[in-house]
Structure 1
Amino acid sequence: MCKIISFDSWNEYFKAPFGALKIDEGAIIKVNSNDENVCSINLVIEKENEDLGSEVIKKITLNTNDRKVYEGKIEALLLPGIYYYYFEVEINRDGHNQKVFYGKVEQNGEACEYAFENLNKYQLTVYEESSAPKWFKEGVLYHIFIDRFNNGNRTGKPSNPKKNSFIYANWEDDPMYIKDKNGDIARWDFYGGNLKGIINKLGYLKKLGVSIIYLSPVFESPSNHKYNTSDYKKIDPMFGDEEIFKELIKKAEDKGISIILDGVFSHTGIDSKYFNKFNNYDTKGAYENEDSPYRNWYTFDDSEVGYDCWWGIKDLPNVNELEPSYIDYIIKNEDSVLNKWTKMGVKGWRLDVVDELPDQFVTEFKRELKLAEKESVLVGEVWEDASNKASYGQRRKYLLGKQLDSVMGYPFRKGILSFLKGEIPSYKLNDIYMSMKENYPPEAFKSNLNLIGTHDVKRVKTELNDDKDMVKLAVLAQMTFEGVPYIYYGDEAGLQGGKDPDNRKTYPWKNEDNEMIDFYRNSIQTRHRIKSLLNGETKFIYTMDDDVFAYERYLNSDEEDDCLIVINRSENYKSINFDLDYDLLDEVGVKYTPGDYGITLEKENGKFKVDIAPKSFMIFKMKHTLNKDL
């Protein structure tokens, strides 16, 4: 069917500005008519309500002088939230006026005709201005699973081993779960990594290029992962104590490295000072004491377990996050969990399973965090597009300005790995990333954590079938992409591993893949050398080749430091023609000195021809000869 109108939300000719809108910002909309029988075009805007439905709030008649270009303006929408829009077109067909409806094509920004009941509407995110601090947006984050990173004790033995636990004989042993006949953990296993071990490796991390350390939970807990908290105000004795933690913060700060903590606030551990099912704590725990100060934190019922627990796991009793005494303890009190550790020098928090936390809790956390430390950052664990995430029947407000500064970039990981594994073509990868860029407020996109591995997914090397060349392409993508690169400890050293617990092996000290470490280090250095890679905008390029992914990073300034990144996943040489508004392309590598360039390309017939080797990448600085002498 021929389209009777043309519109593309990714093209600023049709919608300006591109993407999400601030609450005080409007947008100009243009639609081209392709049929002389079009009588009128209305832009219909809907606002999403609390139950995920939506209702029409505005119908804007687009104006035209020649019946070829229709134009109108979306006035500032004032209230943050998710809005939708579509086009209602009146057309004369066979002497009768009828209405047809145009919405978004599934894979890109173009419009196509739909039956109204199947209409795919355009999302319009409206947000309040908020931004993450510069140190975060221009940083490189390193995620440490503490028990598995490094033991800093002179003896090499674990500190304060827990009762009935299993200590591995060798640092290089593969991790395993020791379970009983019911499949429950019978003994937690430990290697003995601790905070001293991190302190001892700060020099290594600094040399690698790391400026942010995100620690898996540090608080007292019976497990190796610490996501079943026993005491939010105490460092786990196997990791160290408050004095050692303060030393870590200070020595990291001296090297320009900030610390982010993992906050697990949707549930506690069953073996905790708060619940205290096993009476291991000298407190009135909620489990057997109705007059416990923590009793209202939990919901007790007539189930077999006897209480509400997280995802049915009996070791993880859910908390009532909006219980006033819980909010005071975690957030508001002068000595709250948030204030205690933030005032000690912690620069940010990552909220575990943030979709399990009520909006009010996240908003209160952000407000108090900014009061405690103005230059702090709040990150959330979100696995999907965080702009339109829905959980428990509610659309979440993560990126609307009063909650999260940044989220875990799982969509970035899924996209780049799917491309490198040959599961999607390059144009589909462009569409995935463009959809995110359209939906996210600009500051949220620049703060997005571009990860390729975490403790919850397979190691990137394993995911890419141990192909080091492909791993390098994934790393190069995250280091040149818009957002914050996120390194999972050991990925840079060539660690392999399937799902938990295999993805939580110890860091292979003295058995590292030094070539891979050098590649990470040089990629990070390149990121910092080329300013557009650090904080520039992104333009995705449709290469017309399924195997070649390319994008520009550019600065909206007179200072010329723009660049082109080209990634070829195939096992064949590729020749790609680029139509770019520049005069020269000078190749740079991930390791080079000023003036030591690779090839220089000049335009031929108005285009650049780039020849790229199999399973490789190329980075070019893009130059105007009129602006800069070469």
Structure 2
Amino acid sequence: MHFARKLFGSVAFRALFLVTLFSLLWQTRSAVAAAAFIDHAGNIVPSAPTSSDTVDFWVQIGYQGWVTDTRLYLTTDGSEPSIHPTTHAAQGTTQAITMTLDHTENNTLWYKATAGPWSNGTVIRYKIASWHSGGGDTKYADSTNDWPVTDPTQARIFGFRVGENQLPSWIGDAVIYNVFVDRFYDGDTSNNDYCAEAASGYCDNNHAVHGALPTHPQDDYRFTYNGGDLDGVVERLDYLEDLGINVLWLSPVFDNPNFYTDTDFNSNGDIYFTYHGYHPSDPLSVEEVFGTQTDLQTLVTQAANRDIRVILDFVPNHTSSQHSNFISASTTCAGPFSAWYTFSACNTAADPSFTVNFPSGFNTSSASYTVYGSNDTNKSFFGVLELPQINNDNSAARNWVINSRADYWLDTLGHAGYRLDYAPGPSTDFWREFNDTIGDSDTFTIAEIWLDNGPEMIRRQQGRVDSAMDFEANAAIVGFFTGGSSVDSLDSSLRDRASFYYQGGISPSEFVRGCFIDNHDMDRFSHRVSYNMADMKQGALIMFTQPCVPVMYYGNEIGLGQEFGIYQFGGGRPEYARERMAWGFYDASAPTEWTGSANTALWDFYETLIDVRKATPALQTFSSADYIALYRHNADRTYAYQRGQGSSAVLVALNDSGGTRTLNIPNIGGVSLPYANGTVLQDLLGSGKNCTVSSGQCSITLDNNDPGVVLAPQAGVTVNFTVNGYVTQYGQDMYVVGNVPELGNWNPANAVPLSWVDSDTWSGPAVFTSSAGQSIQFKFIVRQGGTTIWEGGGNRTYSVPSSGTGSYTGWWQ
């Protein structure tokens, strides 16, 4: 260390260092003067600007050498920004705004520019470029090491519309239920292709590999088609109505290739089935294995007759490699679809077709399969060969995705909206235009955003989508019941999630989270908690009482299970979490292949919980101010929180201790119950566990196997008490106390407080529930510190009305 200090202190070394640094700064070699990546990803603050906001635009630059210039190019007339490829000059109506270096972080540069405000309704579209003034490549956001963008016409377009987004009015009491079509129910056995049929005509569910991953996917029914279809969903609409569901989310129902060969199984000719629907090969046609367009229309119509809205799963980021557009783009370099995808080189080579032989018992005996392009030559969804990524910044491709697909199906079917698969894929300007095109007062969109920086990416889509699935809240709930995280950790995470998305001026009328305990890409919650009844109920209770829209995965309500964990055999196999729905408990005539095992007590709980959420306004708000922690006990693993405000609020309490625990709510400093002493709180879930507010607390005992409680004030009679003739001194307060629980049972500590009106008058309400319709006795008292002054004379009497309101006015005795 002393040697280094001595060396650097020498004149010769300092001169050498400065010369080297100067040469690095001004080298024109492209390798030195090029950014490694330019990442913007829609990072603006606020995320959804209004006419009163100036906007900060942020970009992060990783550098191989040095960057001297970074510039924001934007338009306010809806046109695409135009940039000269060599001079960097803005062209046409494009404005060029210099971005300045704000700070460095982990060897990256953070640049910022500020612009605006603009009037509401203005469409802002922009691109970002970075370069070194001494030469080298100019790169555009969002460039990566693997896919650098150096052509301004190919640069990603970002954008937003100034002004507030509005949620549909019906979302407040929505309960969303995700149906995985192939696994829900088989209503038409005639379309059971690509599965091993049983003698009954239904897809067999006996061929399965136990204890290990199947050598060949077709050896296990969970990896093939199972026969579920649109007719099957129609047949089970009454079930969904009975459960209380009012929004039905269908997994993708549009045409897929049905299968690929898959080298993951390391055997030529093995078959990977696309039963899930996320490989669209013709998104303008309904998948024939699921039914027809008429079947889909029937489902939407029949659901509407039961007050159930339908949202469809929409895949905007990619197509199947078997889509005709990609086949054309891969084989014709200058064809009409070549710009609809992103290629690093023109590669027209195609792997030869070959025949795939299906096992005995499958309806289809053979089929032809051809691979187009390769992972090295075109952008794809996380490098998956079969899923080439659409260039949604190409105007023709974007028009096809938004207008020819999304808007077309809305106009044709009249469904309620879309679940948006992999929403971080397309740019913010794509989602701005998507929302401009399909968004109206009755259409709902909910996005899937699950990247490592998912919360921040979700926030960047606000104003462009209505909702997003909250994977962070899911992790908090699952972690509490399976990972042993503390009550403090659960509470902190849930309250953080409730507030995070409403920063920067976003209101709950513009954006809402979707809360869930599992989905089709993760292990089922029931499996993760080892089918523990209390945990399954309490997980559902938390999901349904957060300030968000509850999103159920089919089978949550019956504890539908799975034989193996998704990652039990190494790489993820979500097929294990996609078992067939069990119908034997609901329909005695259900075929053997669709009976299965169901927890009917859990179904009853879900039915009640859904009814409570739909009937309770306090559970239908999305503001973080309507989520207040009241009680935490880490050692006991007990937790309680308030939903809503004022006397209409409800309390949610649960006990995960493994034994019986009494909660005296609240136990957290700085919070208080929003109810008067004497208010009776009853469990809306029907457990019979009620409490009466006394000394500002609700004391309730919960057993370990209780599902928890949702406590709400009993409907009562409000009586206003007024007393005149006593001049109170500083520090004195007036109360009414009596012989009934609502008035404290003669205990001054539990008396009902009155409010000062003037020098000798106090007045205030008391709510009577159990004592409504009865004659009561009471007195007025004055309290100061630990001293109580009782009025003289005999006890006052009053007949409380059995309904409505009442009043009593008297003079101090």
**Superposition map of 1:575-614 within 5 A:** 575-577=662-664, 578=666, 579-583=672-676, 584-591=679-686, 598-604=689-695, 606-614=696-704
Secondary structure of 2:283's match? strand
Q: 1:476 aligns with which of 541, 549, 553?
A: 541
Alignment-derived partner of residue 712 in structure 2: 621
Secondary structure of 2:331's match? coil
Number of residue pairs the alignment of both structures matches = 498
- Residues 419 and 429, structure 1, Cα contact 8 Å, conserved in 2: yes
Alignment-derived partner of residue 387 in structure 2: 316
**Superposition map of 1:525-544 within 5 A:** 525-535=611-621, 537=623, 538-544=626-632
Alignment-derived partner of residue 136 in structure 2: none
- Residues 165 and 510, structure 2, Cα contact 8 Å, conserved in 1: no
- Residues 196 and 203, structure 2, Cα contact 8 Å, conserved in 1: no
Distance 1:398 1:52, change over 3 A: farther
Matched, 1:367 2:436: yes
CA distance in 1, matches of 2:222, 2:322: 14
- The CA deviation string for residues 407-451 of structure 1, in whole angstroms up to 9 with x for no partner, is 012222111121223522112222112222222134279721111
Distance 1:127 1:329, change over 3 A: closer
CA distance in 2, matches of 1:22, 1:360: 14
CA deviation after TM superposition for structure 1 residue 466, in Å: 1.7
AA partner of residue 296 (structure 2): F
Distance 1:468 1:171, change over 3 A: farther
- Residues 447 and 483, structure 1, Cα contact 8 Å, conserved in 2: yes
- Residues 286 and 295, structure 1, Cα contact 8 Å, conserved in 2: yes
Alignment-derived partner of residue 485 in structure 1: 550
Q: Which runs of 5+ in 1 are unaligned?
A: 1-18, 27-44, 58-76, 81-125, 277-284
Q: 1:294 aligns with which of 327, 330, 337?
A: 337
CA deviation after TM superposition for structure 1 residue 324, in Å: 1.4
CA distance in 2, matches of 1:415, 1:553: 18
- The CA deviation string for residues 226-281 of structure 1, in whole angstroms up to 9 with x for no partner, is 111100100000111111111111111111111111111111111222224xxxxx
Q: 2:253 aligns with which of 218, 236, 253?
A: 218
Q: Which runs of 5+ in 2 are unaligned?
A: 1-45, 63-98, 103-115, 121-160, 259-273, 346-373, 567-573, 585-596, 667-671, 719-741, 743-764, 770-813
Secondary structure of 1:443's match? coil
Alignment-derived partner of residue 338 in structure 1: 406
Distance 1:532 1:323, change over 3 A: same
Alignment-derived partner of residue 74 in structure 2: none
CA deviation after TM superposition for structure 1 residue 322, in Å: 1.1
Secondary structure of 1:286's match? helix
Q: 1:203 aligns with which of 224, 238, 245?
A: 238
CA distance in 1, matches of 2:632, 2:459: 37
- Residues 150 and 194, structure 1, Cα contact 8 Å, conserved in 2: yes
**Percentage of pairs with the same residue:** 23
RMSD of the TM alignment (CA)?
3.6
**Superposition map of 1:66-215 within 5 A:** 128-153=163-188, 157-159=189-191, 161-162=193-194, 170=203, 172-173=205-206, 189-215=224-250
- Name whichever of 299-308 and 514-523 sits farther off: 299-308
Distance 1:241 1:627, change over 3 A: farther
AA partner of residue 521 (structure 2): D
Q: 1:49 aligns with which of 58, 65, 68?
A: 58
CA distance in 2, matches of 1:20, 1:328: 24
Distance 1:384 1:431, change over 3 A: farther
CA distance in 2, matches of 1:219, 1:565: 41
CA distance in 1, matches of 2:628, 2:420: 31
Distance 1:55 1:527, change over 3 A: farther
CA deviation after TM superposition for structure 1 residue 56, in Å: 11
CA deviation after TM superposition for structure 1 residue 532, in Å: 1.0
CA deviation after TM superposition for structure 1 residue 505, in Å: 0.7
- The CA deviation string for residues 510-553 of structure 1, in whole angstroms up to 9 with x for no partner, is 04222111111011111123221223752322524011121111
AA partner of residue 249 (structure 2): Y
CA deviation after TM superposition for structure 1 residue 473, in Å: 0.2
CA distance in 1, matches of 2:247, 2:492: 30
CA distance in 1, matches of 2:221, 2:601: 40
Alignment-derived partner of residue 570 in structure 1: 657
Alignment-derived partner of residue 355 in structure 1: 424
AA partner of residue 289 (structure 1): T
Q: Greater CA radius of gyration, 1 or 2? A: 2
- Residues 354 and 380, structure 1, Cα contact 8 Å, conserved in 2: yes
CA deviation after TM superposition for structure 1 residue 291, in Å: 4.8
Secondary structure of 1:197's match? helix
Distance 1:160 1:134, change over 3 A: same
CA distance in 1, matches of 2:533, 2:510: 28
AA partner of residue 621 (structure 1): A
- The CA deviation string for residues 437-489 of structure 1, in whole angstroms up to 9 with x for no partner, is 22213427972111111101100101112212100001111122211111101
Alignment-derived partner of residue 509 in structure 1: 583
CA distance in 2, matches of 1:479, 1:407: 16
AA partner of residue 361 (structure 1): F
CA deviation after TM superposition for structure 1 residue 52, in Å: 8.3
